[in-house]
Structure 1
Amino acid sequence: MKKIIKVPAQLVNGETSQNSLVLDECTVIEQCIHHVEEQGTMYLEEHVLFFILEGSVTLTYGKQTCQIGKNEMILLKKATAVHYEKKGSPDLNAIYHGVIFSIKDVLIKSFLASVEKITPKETEEVAESGVYPMTECLITFLESLKPYFHDSSGVYPGQLRLKMMEMLYHMAIGNPAMFQQILQIYQPLRTEIRHIVEQHYASPISLKELAYLSGRSLSSFKRDFQAVYNIPPATWIREKRLEKAKEMLERTQLSVSDICFSLGFENVSHFSRIFKNYYGQAPTFYQI
């Protein structure tokens, strides 16, 4: 099992070089590979837009699974662990071609401050992530980025920022549902604590990020969590992961390192140490 990839950091600075355009507020990564199939897990450090130009990708996050095909897109919010399965197009020598936009809150804030006459209906319901077709404007926009990827040395930050704002305008005007998502990404609706922590406890997620996902400040999140579970959130998450690890050791053939990484731990030695402190035995004691 591969270690969880942090997006965008490890795609830009990782072992495998990928075409990228980096701005303080946004990172754009082009993925063009020849693969029948590739899978792994990534952790989204920022909000991410996936655009698929060739091939397809199946994404699983929490209890949701969706498939994004050619000329389709999806928006996922930060602090989300996503399992992916990429498949190249059988008609084009197994080519998979996608573009990833990793967007910081500051760019969304700037965009929303400049938006005119785009007024989606007010709603108290959470705007869920969904797969949507790309408009002709978006497809043409993505084609216009190719020269930037091929020679990024001549690209000025101001140029790139204008392109990012253009992309957000195309998306918001062409798809009201995704614009609603952008609004709620910037100012999340308050959601039930149990739903958030049960869905995300196995991800390499910080308490601050969990608070964001629940629509609360960090102090409010800690207070509300304590009221529900009668235990500090950091302690609950650690114990929940260790209990899940023991279950996986007893019921699966996965190695200690596989289980460690799949549950969001980043270091095997640290995982083994706290596991032994909690259960009195090393993880290997419970392996089938």
Structure 2
Amino acid sequence: MSMRTEKIAKAPQKLESAPDKQGSLKQNGLSIIKFCLHTHGTTGSYFLKDHMLLFVKSGIYTVRFGDHKYTVRSNEMVFLHKSIRIDYEKSGEPGSEFKLDYIMFFLNENMLEEFVQFSGYKPIYRVNEPVSVSIITVDEFTRAYIESLKPYLESPDEVKDGLVRLKFMELLYHLADSNNHFLLELLQPGRDKNSSISKIMEDNITNPVSISDLAYLSGRSLSTFKRDFQAIYHTSPLKWIRNRRLDQAKKLLLETTLSVTEICFSTGFENVAHFSKVFKLQFGLPPSEFRLQSHPREESIKWNM
């Protein structure tokens, strides 16, 4: 088995069709997905629309966000805040035929608000920014909870929607008991309301997001987001983000040796043919010809070596 690289995926939507998925539970924006694979190393990126908790039963899951690296090993859990892009590396333990076994929990703001109301838990308001990634303590009660999910994941069609919500509620109770500071950060209300449109756009230029996703991340309805965006930029969100991606692709073609395919995916485009078409419309040449014309001498030297 060799290192395998996967292109950026929107989570949890794209994970439902993942080849290493073993089972899942879904209900009104809540998802629990179990994975198991054998790998020496698989790398890729996720854009997280919702909050994610990732529990590693066996193996190693490494998360990179910004300049920080977080390593999650067997019987450990990591929390990843919504609206961020992370890079990951998945690898199994040598003694178990490089087996990696893990579960992802995706939860939205509605679930958190319901938990606060039901439990009576009182978060403390703080002015500091919420953490984006943090390692969470997993005690024996949380490990027992993880094991209790096995029959539900094996027979998801027999599980009622209300029970899925109860299992999420149970998880949050366990985490509240053993990780008070984590929940204080997670449950701070109102931090996403009417977020800066300019910051949302800059943070998501190369992420696989739709206009509806951007509106959601800004805390606005789709119509309000489009209206506010037009007032700021005097163009549509679709045109703005496409042009920024094309400018970034042009820069990478001029300054790096990345292939056209790598540049396509790294700048947020999901189809090489479409990327080449819109690039030609913007700059007059397809990406490969644009690079060749920009560096004719270097190309001549390469072919003569």
Q: Per-residue CA shift, 1:176-211, capped at 9, x if unaligned?
A: 232134324775266665554333211012345445
Q: Per-residue CA shift, 1:78-132, capped at 9, x if unaligned?
A: 343322101212343322121101223332332232121x223211222112222
Residue of structure 2 in register with 1:239 after alignment? 243
Residue of structure 2 in register with 1:6 after alignment? 10
Residue of structure 1 in register with 2:152 after alignment? 148
Q: 1:225 to 1:183 in 2, by over 3 A?
A: farther
Mapped partners of 1:237, 1:103: distance in 2: 28
Q: Per-residue CA shift, 1:40-65, capped at 9, x if unaligned?
A: 22232432211122222222345544
CA contact (8 A) 1:196 1:214 kept: yes
Letter of the 1:13 partner, please give it: S
Residue of structure 2 in register with 1:82 after alignment? 86
Q: 1:81 to 1:273 in 2, by over 3 A?
A: same
List gaps (5 residues or longer) in structure 1: none
Mapped partners of 2:235, 2:35: distance in 1: 43
Residue of structure 2 in register with 1:273 after alignment? 277
Q: 1:24 to 1:252 in 2, by over 3 A?
A: same
Letter of the 1:180 partner, please give it: L
Larger radius of gyration: 2
The secondary structure found in structure 1 opposite 2:187 is: helix
Residue of structure 2 in register with 1:264 after alignment? 268
1:126-205 matches, within 5 Å, as: 126-129=129-132, 130-184=134-188, 187-188=191-192, 195-205=199-209
CA contact (8 A) 1:127 1:180 kept: no
Q: 1:93 to 1:2 in 2, by over 3 A?
A: closer
CA contact (8 A) 1:47 1:77 kept: yes
CA contact (8 A) 2:249 2:263 kept: yes
More relative contact order, 1 or 2 (CA 8 Å, 6+ apart): 1
Residue of structure 1 in register with 2:124 after alignment? 121
CA contact (8 A) 2:249 2:267 kept: yes
Mapped partners of 2:36, 2:19: distance in 1: 16
Mapped partners of 2:230, 2:87: distance in 1: 27
List gaps (5 residues or longer) in structure 2: 293-305
Counting aligned pairs with the same residue, the percent is 34
Mapped partners of 1:172, 1:252: distance in 2: 47
The secondary structure found in structure 2 opposite 1:131 is: strand
Q: Cα offset for 1:217?
A: 6.2
CA contact (8 A) 1:207 1:233 kept: yes
Bigger mean CA offset, 145-154 vs 121-130: 145-154
Q: Per-residue CA shift, 1:236-278, capped at 9, x if unaligned?
A: 3222211111122233333322221222212222222221122
Residue of structure 1 in register with 2:58 after alignment? 54
Bigger mean CA offset, 164-173 vs 178-187: 178-187
Q: How many residues align?
A: 286
TM-score normalised over the length of structure 2: 0.80
The secondary structure found in structure 2 opposite 1:20 is: strand
Q: Cα offset for 1:163?
A: 1.0
User: For the aligned residues, what is the CA RMSD?
Assistant: 2.9
**Aligned with residue 96 of structure 2, among 92, 98, 123:** 92
Q: Which runs of 4+ in 1 moved over 6 A?
A: none
Q: 1:31 to 1:185 in 2, by over 3 A?
A: farther
**Aligned with residue 66 of structure 1, among 60, 63, 70:** 70
Mapped partners of 1:220, 1:149: distance in 2: 38
Mapped partners of 1:62, 1:286: distance in 2: 31
Letter of the 2:126 partner, please give it: T
Q: 1:187 to 1:173 in 2, by over 3 A?
A: farther
| In the alignment, structure 1 residue 286 sits paired with structure 2 residue 290 | yes
Bigger mean CA offset, 74-83 vs 275-284: 74-83
Q: 1:250 to 1:122 in 2, by over 3 A?
A: same
TM-score normalised over the length of structure 1: 0.84
Residue of structure 2 in register with 1:27 after alignment? 31
